[in-house]
Chains A and B, each alone.
Chain A
Amino acid sequence: MSEALTFWLLAALALAGAVAVVFSRDALRLVLGLGAFLLAVAGLYAYYGMGFLAAAQVFVYVGGVLVLVLFALLLLARDGGGRLLAEGRFDLSAAAVGLGLTVVLGVTLRDLTPPAALGASADLGGTLLGPMLPAFELLGVLLLAALVATLVVVGGGERS
């Protein structure tokens, strides 16, 4: 019973955070909503027994990406000046697309039962985090180098 309560509390937190991200007019509230959403996602990971993933989610997202978004908002406020965010407005066609996609996804996924065993992907996971671990880690280093290079190319061109 308390397990179901945990799930519904996490679901409510995720929904509230997502609603805050989509509809808030204030930049800081948007970031706080994103934080609540990401924490709820981490909680859902833990609820499904994936503790490592939940910890990684908290470290990478709540600790990293959220701070990055905050820094971006800070820089934008300095660069652009004035209000941080345009006021939210209701967009009918966007609502139609979002609602339609929700219905399509809901109908598609409703009767979908996951396969009993995913042998190939289990092998992939074992391989990726087993004998291929050094390559996997090197991939992370490569990704980091690519990110730094992108930021240098995009942002470091001109200084005035």
Chain B
Amino acid sequence: MSASPITLLCTVLFGLGVYGTLARRDLVAVLACVEVMLGAASVQLVAFAHAAKVIGSGQAFALVLLVLAAAEACVGLGLVLATVKRAGTQRVDELTEVRG
């Protein structure tokens, strides 16, 4: 069982997602980067489940994660649309209403 390459892959994917979430200035792009982070975590979970020989419960956990991520994308995109309708911009650095 080679757990190391998949861990490396998921770590790099997660780091890429973190960078994109912080650096992107577009709301939809930020959401897409969050999806990348979620996908990386999910793949790592599945790899661990495979290594521990618990295919069934690993699959159940990843399925719950998948549904939650889909719900998150749904609500997130709805919020993006509402924000754009209300504030007239989808650039993160132009939304300064609650800046301290």
**Pairwise interchain contact A50-B15, C-beta atoms closer than 8 A:** no
B residues at A contact (CB < 8 Å): 3-9, 11-20, 22-26, 28-29, 31-33, 35-36, 39-40, 42-44, 46-63, 66-67, 69-71, 73-75, 77-82, 84-85, 88-91
Q: A interface, how many residues as a size bin?
A: 35 or more
Residue of A nearest to B89 (CB): A80
Instruction: List chain B residues, Cβ under 8 A from A88.
Output: 23-24
Task: Say yes or no: A106 contacts B7, CB within 8 Å.
Answer: yes
A21 and B20 form a contact (CB under 8 A) = yes
Set B17, B19, B23, B60: member contacting A124, Cβ < 8 A: B60
**B36: A residues at CB distance < 8 A:** 18, 21-22, 34, 37
What's the least CB distance linking B44 to chain A, in Å?
A: 8
Within 8 Å by CB of B78, from A56, A106, A154, lies: A154
Do residues B81 and A125 form an inter-chain contact, with CB atoms below 8 A? no
Partner of B28, one of A56, A73, A91, A123: A73
